A and B are shown apart, each in its own frame.
Chain A
């Protein structure tokens, strides 16, 4: 289409300029700081090139935080989708519309809670002595179980809260998507004696491919920002078992040492890594859908 007037440019330019300032100024500043040796307690700093990035490679805590971040990302995205899709199908298949709508409202409530409050509520629910969530386990085993203090279970326990908030919300979205699908292919499949699972596996889910992939990407971005949840529930502990990259950067910058340049170099690296990963995944998803 040929643009006949310059008006669209005139109208969007100020907004685009504001957005560009908002996006690029902090980014460039972060890169600038990452190349220095700035420390909060010292006003003077020097440019040190890539020294911070080189130091990161030899930092075992950094490497640990990268693997924790990747594990957290995979675990929460997979678990959210694995909860959301079957739950949505179950709702769609078994409940009449009125009940379904009521349940949908209930399922949205966890996502409406501010995450910090949800994290506090759940941290108490997992308290080994008073927690409601671990009470059944305590009854069965007779032993108090401290899930958040065990390095093997801490991340799964925090992930439960994440899935509780997002898996249920996504289930509602998937239900609403299912309701929009045309009935004819389903009826045709039923006439061909297709079983229920076959109808969903071969018809409904392929039809919903595009929105489901979008949901996966939304959740991936969302999972990257789980700082508040993890911070309240474990503070990255026990030890460094749940210390993600953003949490390590924060603690280097503001809690432990004030090494703001070192923290910035982590942030820059994280930004680069996520940009590349998302681009590759996006391309891959698009190609996969086209074949």
Chain B
């Protein structure tokens, strides 16, 4: 029986690929190789192994240049605003508004072939990829936050995973035992809208904070002061190295077994069960973030560069590449390679194979955390500017070169007013 179904599936795939190859021969969509600017992702590395497949499909190949996140943001901005030599940009929640409003990227769905089924992507990520009603990128990664904890340590202390922030803070203090190499929590201290500010925002939004009220900055509120205070207090229980560190440092500390629990973006769940990078395989539990914290909804993906693709034909080619790179087939390959953080399609994440691979616990935690996942940041082209500015002040507060929280927020408010004023003029 099983043999029969797999044979059927195989022949179906053969027919499908034969059809695709046939259409490619009929009309080569691409006339030249595509240049892609991205940040390192396991999914993209895997994709590069299938270059020939894309060549067959589209008639040309592609080259990916990798830069790490902050540098990728700087470089893509510089490139898109000047020469524009990349056909495909890797963009994310922080700069989709900027890229879309500056017309550095083209609306994706005009060039995304229907049969690749864009609607299948996780709805939260579709929301992040949308600016003023138009979709600009196809997700490569994304998600929200999870409370990831060490089951063994909690069991030893006879504790249950916390469900409220007060419980969470109390548990962090209880589990904190640096003399035995265990820190209560791991946070991000490094400046940046996607670094320290990203981890701070769930507290800010969870306490009811708002970035703007219309065009008036509204963030210098009690919610922000309280959020900052809580964040700074929690830093006492975060391992050394995280004060100027970001995702790598804090998840690295957790994966090497030095941290009891942390609230981090969902891909951590995949890394925690990967024996190549994790020393805590089998000791990890997942839960949604303790209330009232919101999850930091985010997504990264590929978008069509407007400058490098001057005519419709080259936009179509870039669109086909993006569709192929994020297709069900390629996502399935990423699932087969255990790349949890690279999965974006609902059809894949609810499949039996997914559950078998990553366990029902994780599936359940993901479903629950989806309910509290929100867009925490200010959806505006000026967001990176404002967010990075706050990131520097926050880093100074964490490092201790600055102590006045309210004063810092007032400073940021003046800066935000200037930003809004500049835009109107």
Contact = CB atoms under 8 A, between A and B. Distances in A.
A256 B191 CA distance: 11
B240 interface: yes
Q: DSSP majority for the B interface?
A: helix
B244 A256 contact: no
Contact of B399 (A149, A235, A256): A149
Given A235-B190, A256-B388, A150 B70 contact: no
Interface in B62-116: 70, 73-75, 77-78, 81-82, 98, 101-102
Contacts of B191: 235-237, 239
Given A238-B398, A239-B395, A241-B401, A146 B78 contact: no
Contacts of A150: 399
B396 A238 contact: yes
Contacts, number: 89
B241 A129 contact: yes
11 contacts: A40-B82, A41-B101, A129-B258, A149-B241, A149-B243, A151-B400, A235-B70, A236-B191, A254-B74, A256-B384, A257-B388
B144 interface: no
Contacts of A239: 191, 392-393, 395-396, 399, 401-402
A236 B399 CA distance: 13
B240 A146 contact: yes
A41 B100 CA distance: 10
Interface in A206-249: 234-241
B189 interface: yes
Contacts of B82: 40
B226 interface: no
B392 A41 contact: no
B78 A254 contact: yes
B381 interface: yes
B81 A40 contact: yes
Interface string A95-110: 0000000000000000
B59 interface: no
Q: How large is the interface on A (under 10, 10 to 19, 20 to 34, 35 or more residues)?
A: 20 to 34
A40 B384 CA distance: 13
A145 B78 contact: no
Contacts of A236: 191
A180 to B, nearest CB: 45
Contacts of A149: 189, 240-241, 243-244, 399
Given A40-B81, A235-B190, A255-B74, A151 B381 contact: no
Interface of A: 40-42, 127-129, 144-146, 148-151, 234-241, 250-251, 254-258
B77 A258 contact: yes
B385 interface: yes
Interface string B236-251: 0001110110000000
A241 B253 CA distance: 25
Interface of B: 70, 73-75, 77-78, 81-82, 98, 101-102, 189-191, 239-241, 243-244, 253, 258, 381, 384-385, 388-389, 392-393, 395-396, 398-402
B77 A128 contact: no
Contacts of B399: 149-151, 237-239, 241
Contacts of B392: 239-240
Contacts of B384: 256-257
Contacts of B400: 151
B81 A41 contact: yes
Given A254-B77, A255-B73, A151 B401 contact: yes
Given A239-B392, A255-B74, A256-B384, A129 B240 contact: yes
Nearest to A146: B240
A241 B244 CA distance: 12
Contacts of A255: 70, 73-74, 388
Residue among B75, B189, B385, B393 with most chain A CB within 10 A:
B385
A129 B253 CA distance: 9
B191 to A, nearest CB: 6
B395 A237 contact: yes
A239 B411 CA distance: 15
Indicate the member of A148, A237, A254 with the most B CB atoms within 10 Å.
Answer: A237
Contacts of B395: 237-239
Contacts of B81: 40-41, 258
B362 to A, nearest CB: 28
A129 to B, nearest CB: 6
B102 to A, nearest CB: 5
A150 B241 CA distance: 10
A236 B190 CA distance: 10
Nearest to B195: A235
A233 to B, nearest CB: 10
Contacts of B101: 41
A209 B400 CA distance: 44
The 6 closest A-B pairs by CB, nearest first: A239-B396, A238-B399, A128-B240, A149-B243, A40-B81, A256-B388
B194 to A, nearest CB: 11
A223 to B, nearest CB: 23
Most buried by B among A40, A127, A145, A149: A149
Nearest to B391: A256
A250 B384 CA distance: 15
B78 A40 contact: yes
A129 B239 CA distance: 9
Contacts of B73: 255
B401 A238 contact: yes
Given A129-B240, A146-B240, 11 more contacts: A40-B78, A41-B102, A41-B381, A127-B241, A128-B241, A129-B239, A149-B189, A235-B244, A236-B191, A256-B384, A257-B388
A237 B190 contact: yes
A123 to B, nearest CB: 10
Nearest to A255: B74
B396 A145 contact: no
A144 B388 CA distance: 29
Contacts of A256: 384-385, 388-389
A237 B400 CA distance: 12
B377 to A, nearest CB: 15
Nearest to B243: A149
